[in-house]
Amino acid sequence: MRPLWIKNAAQLVTVAGENGPRRKKEMSELGIIENGSVWVENGEIIAMGTSSEIEALFGARVHEAEVVDATGRLVTPGLVDPHTHVAYGGSREREFEMRLEGSTYMEIMNAGGGIHATSRMTREATEDELVGQTTRRLDSFLQHGVTTVEGKSGYGLDLETELKQLRVMKRLNESHPIDLVPTFMGGHAVPVEYKGREEEYIDVLVNEMLPRVAQEGLAVFNDVFCEVGVFTPEQSERILEAGKKLGLIPKIHADEIKSYGGAELAAKVGAISAEHLLKASDEGIRLMAEAGVIACLLPATALYLREEAAQGRAMIDAGVAVAISTDCNPGSSPTTSMPLVMNLACISMRLTPAEALVAATMNAACAIGMQDRVGSLEVGKQADLVMWKVSNYQELQYLFGVNHVSCVWKKGVQVVG
């Protein structure tokens, strides 16, 4: 592989610093190098600096390299999406109309739609069919500057289909340019066949599904939907603690529809992240800050459901590390556009443009345990880079709803542009 030299960037945003989640004022520290350059070899970043500094170091080897002139362009780390449901079967466009006609999320779900509808379609799909559908979504993520994605199961709700979803993600992590980090989410809903027998399903989840997932090494994280009408805080705690005993790191869908103690539970069980948090209490936010739980906020989901967004500004001010995500899923956020999510984080949650970029790179990487490899541009890390058709990071957030991606490199290989 030839070395890669990206030079003359108007702004090279490195987000360099400690390999840990950024809080408060740290979320505004972008590590910008003007007229910046990056030298890449064998998929890793070897050096960064001004163009004159990199030319002084490597100018004698310029004939070896692929040289990209980024004059007038912004260059950033590849974006990281820390919360998706990317591997699923089918589509649910009819529910979009139902919502506009007045049906609520839980009304649709209780009528056999929502998660249950996708569960049926995912059960019916073959593994190869799911690979094909998921590949198209991952390709779209790349087109929007995303180079690392977390993916959850949870559209099977039986052992066979949950394993099928996770195996699909394992195959794609090995074959697709994107790094795909797997999360088991058998606790996404109680399947229709267990209605009225919720505790029996939890027994199956804890005693059969989780051990099999851990035995086959198919997931890094274990997630649960702690919500009124889904799993109670007590049930959620049981599921998360069972996963911890098997080496699966807890995550939690918390306080999305009602304030239900999900943020508090995230702190109690030591979750790496709590997701959604539209209705998180002030006490839950305080406890998350104390426990170091990352808030993974999903402003596109709030917009799609026509709900008020999570209190991103208040969480940052309280000392919570905030990450953002598309929540790519068929029912409440069918998008792969992290640039749009960054726009929405500024508009609906009052993050600054710098904070939104940190939330979509370093903090997002920390929310899925990938910060040693991705999330910032630093020597020794993967050369996951995006060149944007704007000249500075403020412009990236200011020009709303537009995909400004010019080129994307994954491990030093150009995959877009």
Per-residue pLDDT tens digits for 366-416: 999 999 999 999 999 999 999 999 999 999 999 999 999 999 999 999 999
- Return the pLDDT at 105: 78
| pLDDT, tens only, 193-230 | 999 999 999 999 999 999 999 999 999 999 999 999 99
Q: Which residue has the tokens 């998008």?
A: 335
Question: How far is the C-alpha of 217 from the C-alpha of 248, rounded, in Å?
Answer: 10
Q: Tell me phi and psi for residue 123, to 5 degrees.
A: -60, -35
Q: Contact 206/244 with Cβ under 8 angstroms?
A: no
Token duo for residue 223: 């997630």
User: Measured between alpha carbons, how far is 365 from 259 in angstroms, rounded to an integer?
Assistant: 27
Predicted pLDDT at 293: 98
pLDDT of residue 104: 87
Task: For the chain, give the mean pLDDT.
Answer: 97
Q: Which residues of 149-167 are buried (b: 16+ CB within 10 A; e: fewer)?
A: bbbbbbbbbbeebbbbbbb
- How far is 345 from 131, CA to CA, in rounded Å? 31
pLDDT, residue 370, reads: 98
Q: Give residue 94's pLDDT.
A: 87
Written as six digits, the tokens of 214 are 């851990």
Beta strands in 191-319 (DSSP E): 221-226, 249-254, 273-276, 294-297
Torsional sign, CA 320, 372, 244, 235: positive
Q: Cβ(240)–Cβ(274) under 8 Å?
A: no
- In degrees rounded to 5, what are phi and psi of residue 396? -60, -40
Report d(CA 123, CA 297) in Å as an integer: 29
> pLDDT (tens digit, 9 = 90+) per residue, 354-368?
999 999 999 999 999
Judged on CB neighbours under 10 Å (0-12, 13-18, 19+), 91 is middle
Q: What is the largest CA-CA distance in the chain?
A: 72
Q: Is 240 helix (H, G, I), strand (E, B) or coil?
A: helix
**H or E segment at 137?**
helix 127-143
Residue 254 phi, psi (nearest 5): -130, 135
Burial class (CB in 10 A: 0-12, 13-18, 19+), 99: middle
Mean pLDDT of 59-74: 97
Q: Tens digit of pLDDT for each residue in 69-97?
A: 999 999 999 999 999 999 999 999 988 88
Give bridge partners of residue 44 from the DSSP assignment.
Answer: 41, 382
Is residue 162 within 8 A of residue 88, CB to CB? The reply is: no
The pLDDT of residue 110 is 80
Arithmetic mean of pLDDT, 48-76: 97
Work out the end-to-end distance of the chain between its first and last CA atoms, rounded to an integer number of angstroms: 18
User: Which pairs count as long-range contacts for 103-112, CB under 8 Å and 24+ apart, including other chains?
Assistant: 105/257, 105/305, 105/331, 105/332, 106/229, 106/257, 108/331, 109/189, 109/229, 110/229, 112/192
Q: What is the pLDDT of residue 128?
A: 98
Give the Cα separation of 226 and 242 in Å (integer): 15
Q: How many CA atoms lie within 13 A of 256 on its CB side?
A: 27
**Statement: residue 342 has pLDDT above 90:** yes
Q: Could you tell me if 211 and 247 are in contact, meaning their C-beta atoms sit under 8 angstroms apart? A: no
Between CA 247 and CA 125 the distance in angstroms is 30
* pLDDT mean over 241-270: 98
Residue 113 reports pLDDT greater than 90: no
